Structure 1
Amino acid sequence: MPDDPAGGGPHSRAPQAKRATASVSASCLSRRTRIARRSGDGPRSTGELAGMFELGRPAVSEHLAVLRTAGLVREEPRGRHRFYHLEPARLTEVSEWLHPFERYWKQRLEALPDLLDEENGT
């Protein structure tokens, strides 16, 4: 597979790829995905999120730190509390970055029946 299925050299989209890779990495864990999703329902505090997932606040704080670093959530301080919001723009960026790969695998899967027929001699 080429370095960049969208065209260009392996480094032509390096900054975007780096950010998108961080975003994908952060969202890989099921808990982080669910935490990010709940943050999309409206601003949520660490304590509120901890209660939703039966996790301790320190564990939720670690997940939120990864999500913040990836740009998937933003933090809003309110007095002594911090509230977290989903950043949908980052998800759009990840989707755009993944699109060439989606096209690549879709083409490969569409060609699979022909390949299997060829393998089976039919």
Structure 2
Amino acid sequence: METLADLVPSELQIFYKLLMKTTSYLVLETLNDLKGSEFMKFKWFLQLTQFQRRLPQIPWSEMQFANRTDLVMMILTEMVNVMVEELGAKAVEETRKIFKHMNRADLLEVLPETCCGTGQDLLHILFSV
């Protein structure tokens, strides 16, 4: 069966890079607003969320000492393995859920509810120009 990636590989690669940069920036900017203890709490909630929602697990041994940039890349890399098309939206959505658990409404205001839509949405926009 032919996939979307088989049909437009170079366009998907461009989309993937754009989505990774946009999502990484959004999540990283909000994580930078967390104090050290809040960042550790975020990691704990992230671990719990991954388990409860049966998302790809980032081992605690890797997550525990990760800085903010490394953690964002771990989150995105794990999600890419499952859902490339919904990568940005899923990463932002899960980050927002954790901020809600942490009672950080200020960060919820900064981080949009959605990122860039699905890969299908962006490809439709790209090819309808």
| TM-score normalised by structure 1 residue count | 0.30
Choose between structure 1 and 2: higher helix proportion. Answer: 2
Identify which of structures 1 and 2 has the higher relative contact order when contacts are C-alpha pairs closer than 8 Å and 6+ apart. 2
Choose between structure 1 and 2: higher strand proportion. Answer: 1
* Rg larger for: 1
